[in-house]
Chain A
Amino acid sequence: MSYTFTLDGKVIPFADGQTIIQAASAAGVFIPHLCYHPEFKPHGSCKLCTVRVNGRHTASCTMRASAGMVVESETEEINAERRALTQMLFVEGNHFCPSCEQSGNCQLQATAYHLGMMSPHYDHFFPNRPVDASHPEVLLEFNRCILCSLCVRASRDVDGKNVFALSGRGIKTHLIVNAKSGAAGRYGLRAG
Chain B
Amino acid sequence: MTEKKKLKVATTSLAGCFGCHMSFLDIDERLFTLLEHIEFDRSPLTDIKTCSPDCDIGIIEGGLCNAENVHVLREFRKNCKILIAMGACAINGGLPAQRNHLPLTTILEEVYHTSPGLANGMIPNDPELPLPLNQVHPIHEVVKIDYFMPGCPPSGRRNLEGADRSVGRQGARTRAWPDAL
Please name the residue on chain A nearest to B92 by beta carbon.
A120
Contact B98 A99 (CB under 8 A): yes
Contact B135 A126 (CB under 8 A): yes
Contact A119 B150 (CB under 8 A): yes
Contact A118 B150 (CB under 8 A): yes
Given contacts A119-B85, A119-B148, A124-B138, contact A98 B91 (CB under 8 A): no
Nearest CB in chain A: distance from B2 CB, A: 37
Task: Give every chain B residue within 8 A of A94 (Cβ-Cβ).
Answer: 98, 101
Q: Does A186 contact B (CB under 8 A)?
A: no
Q: Does A28 contact B (CB under 8 A)?
A: no
Interface secondary structure of A, over-half rule? loop
Contact B138 A98 (CB under 8 A): no
Q: Does A101 contact B (CB under 8 A)?
A: no
Q: Does A129 contact B (CB under 8 A)?
A: yes
Q: Does A97 contact B (CB under 8 A)?
A: yes
CA distance in complex: A126, B100 (Å):
6
Count residues of A near B (Cβ-Cβ below 8 Å).
17
Q: Does B58 contact A (CB under 8 A)?
A: no
CA distance in complex: A94, B99 (Å):
11
Contact A98 B152 (CB under 8 A): yes
Contact A129 B92 (CB under 8 A): no
Task: Give every chain B residue within 8 A of A126 (Cβ-Cβ).
Answer: 93, 97, 100-101, 135
CB < 8 Å: which of A95, A96, A123, A128 contacts B141? Answer: A123
Task: Give every chain A residue within 8 A of B149 (Cβ-Cβ).
Answer: 118
Task: Give every chain A residue within 8 A of B101 (Cβ-Cβ).
Answer: 94, 126-129
Q: Does B145 contact A (CB under 8 A)?
A: yes
Count residues of B near A (Cβ-Cβ below 8 Å).
22
CA distance in complex: A97, B145 (Å):
21
Please name the residue on chain A nearest to B103 by beta carbon.
A128
Q: Does A36 contact B (CB under 8 A)?
A: no
Q: Does B156 contact A (CB under 8 A)?
A: no
Residues of A75-122 contacting chain B, CB below 8 A: 90, 94-99, 118-121
Contact B88 A98 (CB under 8 A): yes
Task: Give every chain B residue within 8 A of A99 (Cβ-Cβ).
Answer: 95, 98
Nearest CB in chain A: distance from B95 CB, A: 6
Task: Give every chain B residue within 8 A of A90 (Cβ-Cβ).
Answer: 92
Task: Give every chain B residue within 8 A of A124 (Cβ-Cβ).
Answer: 92-93, 97, 137-138, 141
Task: Give every chain A residue within 8 A of B91 (Cβ-Cβ).
Answer: 119-120
Residues of B124-144 contacting chain A, CB below 8 A: 135, 137-138, 140-141
Contact B85 A98 (CB under 8 A): no
**Which residues from chain A sit less than 8 Å from chain B, CB to CB?**
90, 94-99, 118-121, 123-124, 126-129
10 CB contacts below 8 A, A to B, read A96-B92, A98-B95, A98-B152, A118-B147, A119-B150, A120-B138, A120-B140, A124-B137, A126-B93, A128-B101
